[in-house]
Structure 1
Amino acid sequence: MVTSRDIARLAGVSQSTVSRVLQNRPEVSGAVRARVQKVLDETGYTPNPAARAMRGTKTNVIGVVVGRITNPFYPELLESIGLALHKAGKRMLLWSFVHGGFEEEAVYGMRDQLVDGLIFTTASYGSTALKEALDRRAPIVLVNRSLDDVACDQLTSDHARGTKAAVRHLVELGHRRVGVLGGIPQVSTNQERRSGFIAELAQHGITVDAKFDVTSDATHDAAYAEAAAMLSEPDRPTALLCANDLLAFGAIDAARDLGIAVPGQLSIVGYDDIGMSSWPAYDLTTVRQPLRVMADVAVSMLLRRLDDPDLPFESRRYSPELMVRGSTGQAPIET
Structure 2
Amino acid sequence: MVGIVDVAKKANVSTATVSRVLTKPETVRGTTMEKVLKAIEALNYQPNLLARQLRRLETKTILVVVPDITNPFFSKVLRGIEAVAVAKGYQVLLGDTGNDVEREKGYLNILQQKKADGMVLLTARMDAAAVEEVARSFPVVLACEYIEGSRIPTVSIDNISGARKATEYLIDLGHERIGCITGPLDIVLSRDRLKGFYQAMARKNLIVDPVLVQEGDFSFDSGFNLMMKFFALGQLPTAIFAASDDMAMGVIKAIKSKGLKVPEDISVLGFDNLKFSSIFEPGLTTIAQPAFEIGENAMELLMKLINKEEVKREQIILADQLVVRESVRTI
Corresponding residue for 2:44?
A: none
More displaced 10-residue stretch of structure 1: 124-133 or 189-198: 124-133
Deviation, 1:235, is 2.0
Deviation, 1:247, is 1.3
Distance 2:64 2:137 in 1: 17
| 1:102 and 2:103 matched | yes
**SS in structure 2 of the partner of residue 316 of structure 1:** strand
Distance 2:246 2:109 in 1: 31
Distance 1:313 1:172 in 2: 35
Corresponding residue for 2:116?
A: 115
Corresponding residue for 2:210?
A: 210
CA contact (8 A) 2:184 2:215 kept: yes
Distance 1:181 1:32 in 2: 57
Deviation, 1:298, is 0.9
Deviation, 1:56, is 3.7
Deviation, 1:223, is 2.3
More displaced 10-residue stretch of structure 1: 65-74 or 54-63: 54-63
Corresponding residue for 1:235?
A: 235
Deviation, 1:79, is 1.9
AA paired with 1:302? L
Corresponding residue for 1:327?
A: 327
RMSD of aligned C-alpha atoms?
2.8
Distance 1:200 1:36 in 2: 58
Deviation string 1:257-293 (CA, Å, 9 cap, x unpaired) is 1222110011111111111111133511000011222
CA contact (8 A) 1:152 1:313 kept: no
CA contact (8 A) 1:125 1:186 kept: no
Deviation, 1:138, is 2.4
Deviation, 1:137, is 4.3
Corresponding residue for 1:75?
A: 75
More displaced 10-residue stretch of structure 1: 98-107 or 271-280: 98-107
The number of equivalent residue pairs is 297
Unaligned 5+ segments in structure 1 are 1-19, 41-53
Distance 1:265 1:58 in 2: 58
Distance 2:79 2:217 in 1: 24
Map 1:80-229; keep pairs closer than 5 Å: 80-98=80-98, 99-124=100-125, 126=127, 129-134=130-135, 136-229=136-229
Distance 1:203 1:57, change over 3 A: same
Distance 2:104 2:70 in 1: 18
Deviation, 1:71, is 1.6
CA contact (8 A) 2:163 2:197 kept: yes
Unaligned 5+ segments in structure 2 are 1-17, 25-30, 42-53
Distance 1:31 1:159 in 2: 55
CA contact (8 A) 1:178 1:240 kept: yes
Distance 2:297 2:39 in 1: 47
Corresponding residue for 1:295?
A: 295
Distance 1:184 1:32, change over 3 A: farther
Distance 1:37 1:86, change over 3 A: same
More displaced 10-residue stretch of structure 1: 158-167 or 314-323: 158-167
AA paired with 1:273? N
Distance 1:201 1:152, change over 3 A: same
Distance 1:271 1:237, change over 3 A: same
Corresponding residue for 2:5?
A: none
Distance 1:262 1:126, change over 3 A: farther
